[in-house]
Amino acid sequence: MDRLKDQVLIVTGGAHGIGLAYCEGLAAEGARVVVADIDGQGADAVAASLGEAGHDALAVTTDVSQPESSDTMARLTMERFGRIDGLINNAAIYQRPAVTRGPFEEIPVEEWDRLMGVNLRGVFLCCRAVVPHMKAQGSGKIVNISSGTVFNGSTQMLHYVTSKAGVIGLTRSLARELGDYNINVNAIAPGLTVSMDDDDEDKLLRFETRMQARSLKRLEGPQDLVGAVLFLCSTDSDFMTGQTMVVDGGAQMH
């Protein structure tokens, strides 16, 4: 299938884990993928792999928390492809590097600021960088990655949950602002997902425990999220905006 044939889609945090799965899934549907990641070597490797598989891909070293870097991401995309059809705001601090887990008063202020800078400010900056180009072409798809922890009120990582709640608020307000320009803005809230990079036995045990809270009692992998991203980037979702899709095997129902 080529649901996204020749569409130019940026994936932040695309060099590893779930972001890598997004890049591969989008490319398989015909998209030209921009792999944006703070790990430049990792982004280069993913883009090279996609190229070897016959796909058109560009790697851009990007620190989403910095306006100059996110602007450069958009500029290099335009220079290479001439348009920006979609942005998947996937880059976030959670497991790489791992966040502090514990009572909220024990969260270092510096870590709070760093996490907000990537998880929330980064979404804002990347949207700000690409939206002028989407406005000029009269279309665009923005997919922000939130988290099921927002609906569960997960404890022991207040800064992470708060940042992901902010992503939902940003999604709704931005959808209102950009509707007149035919730009769709939606979010996905994944459940706890076993990434390609997860190999810690204690972490995998926690995943197994969380699995029991789901209606579909199995582990959630990156491929379980690719379909939702494809849907939100394609014409199938043209009349859907401001929404948050929970993809967690039925752990949360709203």
Which residues have a catalytic role annotated? 160
Cα 208 from Cα 222, distance rounded (Å): 16
Q: Any idea how long the chain is? A: 254
- Residue 101's CB is within 10 A of a number of other CB atoms, namely 11
Q: Decide: 53 and 27 in contact? Cβ < 8 Å.
A: yes
Cα 12 from Cα 126, distance rounded (Å): 9
Cα 75 from Cα 198, distance rounded (Å): 33
Q: What Å distances lie between residue 58 and 19, 23, 55, 65, 88, CA to CA? A: 14, 11, 10, 20, 15
Token pair recorded at residue 54: 């016959």
Cα 173 from Cα 196, distance rounded (Å): 33
